Amino acid sequence: MHSLREVTATRYVAPLHSGGSVPGLVEAEDLGTYVVKFTASAQGPKALVAEVIVGELARALGLRVPELVRVHFDPAVAAHEPHQEVRDLVNASAGLNLGMDHLPGAADYTPELADSFPVDPLEAGRIVWLDALTVNVDRTVHSSNLMVWPTLGVAPPRLWLIDHGAALVFHHRWDTSAPGRAYDFRHHALGHTAPDVRAADAALAPRVTKELLREVTAAVPDAWLTGEPGFATPDEVRAAYVSFLAERAGASAAWLPTDFPSREERAAEEARRAARTRRGRPAWLQHVPDLHGRPAAEQDWSRHLG
């Protein structure tokens, strides 16, 4: 049975405010440093379940994901944290949490970095295919959740996949009625790289078997699956994930994303969106950037999380 390695946190270094879940940078007794996502975060245990299933599935399919570990966390190691909100979070997260190996010096994959870091269409296709399979709504041009590492010239830099807590949107309402449902992935972070999703589909779909999915879901701790409405046991919940993802892999012809705009088309769309936003503002706000707007595609995705 597949299981994640277990470590015990010995030092809470700092909170990371870049994400809504406020993960923490933590040192453990194995001398490793991990980015820990806590069970008491606003996203709840389902975000950790998605992290494990998608992360371990990606690894099994040959994509790069930092090692995931089970982290035993005693809030006493964060007693020095000065922010009350963070203290409340860690105090409510005693016990088992999820850690991801920290990649020191890694850089976010951004549109600016993309100009100097070309991505192979085959690799891009595999990442897009995985995101489409697992309905990952959080790898967009605005938030790639891709890291370039290493960045110090020690070895060739590579893309690493992180943050899959927003994937598997069907499990928020257990809508398993349409495993062939297509989603709008035109704003995917790698859409401009001409991702070869057809080659990815041919290579990866046959590998997403029920046997592999059972191995991947076995890595999810029972505690994060216990009490799910409509299911009597954690194993029943695992079986539901296995059934849905296996059926979705077999229905890839219905959801395979192939229509990606060019960089120029995307820039023009962003300009039109910004212009529409400005027209709806008072005159004194016409020239203030819209920091909160999202493309329509992302707004459509978000309703599946409601």
Could you write out the DSSP letters of every residue in the chain?
A: ----EEEEEEEEEEE-TTSTT--EEEEETTS-EEEEEPTTSTT-HHHHHHHHHHHHHHHHTT---PPEEEEEE-GGGGTT---HHHHHHHHTT-EEEEEEE--TT-EE--HHHHTTS---HHHHHHHHHHHHHTT----BTTB--EEEE--SSSS--EEEE---TT--GGGGTT--S-TT-----TTBTTGGG---HHHHHHHHGGG--HHHHHHHHTTS-GGGTTT-TT-SSHHHHHHHHHHHHHHHHHTHHHH-------HHHHHHHHHHHHHHHHHTS-GGGTTS--SS---HHHHHHHGGG-
- pTM, two decimals, is 0.87
Q: Which amino acid is at 6?
A: E
Cα–Cα distance measured from residue 271 to residue 305, given in angstroms and rounded to the nearest whole number = 27
pLDDT in tens, the chain (306 residues): 578 999 999 999 999 987 678 999 999 999 999 999 999 999 899 999 999 999 999 999 999 999 999 999 999 999 999 999 999 999 999 999 999 999 999 999 998 888 889 999 999 999 999 999 999 999 999 899 999 999 767 788 999 999 999 999 999 999 877 899 999 998 999 999 999 999 999 999 999 999 999 999 999 999 999 999 999 999 999 999 999 999 999 999 999 999 888 777 777 877 887 787 767 666 655 554 444 444 433 333 333 332
* Contact status, residue 33 vs residue 27, Cβ threshold 8 Å: yes
pLDDT at 255 (0 to 100): 97
Which two structure tokens, joined as six digits, stand for 285? 């706000």
| Cβ atoms < 10 Å from Cβ of 16 | 14
pLDDT at 284 (0 to 100): 55
* Contact status, residue 132 vs residue 245, Cβ threshold 8 Å: no
Which two structure tokens, joined as six digits, stand for 81? 């944290």
Q: What is the largest CA-CA distance in the chain?
A: 62
Indicate the pairing of strand 5-15 with strand 24-28.
Answer: antiparallel
pLDDT at 84 (0 to 100): 95
At residue 69, what are phi and psi to the nearest 5 degrees?
-135, 155
Indicate the pairing of strand 5-15 with strand 68-73.
Answer: parallel
pLDDT at 176 (0 to 100): 77
pLDDT at 77 (0 to 100): 97
* Contact status, residue 18 vs residue 193, Cβ threshold 8 Å: no
